[in-house]
Homo-oligomer: A and B are copies of this chain.
Amino acid sequence: MKLSSKGLYGVQAIFDLAFHAEGRSAQIKDICDRQAIPPRFLEQVFQDLRKAGIVTSKRGPRGGYQLAHAPDRIRVGDIIRALEGPVHLLPSGRNREHAEESSSYQVAQDVFKGLSSNIEGCLDAVTMADMCHRADALGLQRRPPPAYVYAI
């Protein structure tokens, strides 16, 4: 049982936004430089995150992405669900229709449903604010984007 790269990249990127941008917006290029993520791939990831309402975007020069909520309101679970769908331990089998009738299968179904929501609970227990605190504890330096200065 593992996470896809999309999920990891997503969490890294949102954390990056929370930690380095601090409410302002950042661009894909900069996030990828800091987090070592392929830029064209992160583009896709951000599309999903935008559709899920986790970030807002602005096009054009000096555009970029911005958190839609405060870091303590964004949970790891929100990101994972946006990128990989709900945690659902039951595989959507092909000839599972026949099995669904058997009450024997229902026991497994009940158990896995309970486990799924427990696991979601684990993921929802960690927020971006938590990750920022941990980063501070590690001594990680914030690199806020330079304030824009008009050319002379």
Contacts and interface: CB of A to CB of B under 8 A. Distances in A.
A46 interface: no
Nearest to A38: B95
A91 interface: yes
A101 B33 CA distance: 13
Given A36-B99, A104-B34, A105-B36, A87 B1 contact: yes
Interface residues of A, number: 54
Q: Is the interface of A mostly helix, strand, loop or mixed?
A: helix
* Copy count, this protein chain: 2
Contact of A3 (B15, B35, B91): B91
B140 A107 contact: yes
Contacts of A11: 108, 111-112
Interface stretch (A47-55, A64-72, A115-123): A115-123
Interface stretch (A21-29, A131-139, A144-152): A131-139
A2 to B, nearest CB: 5
A44 interface: no
Contacts of A123: 115
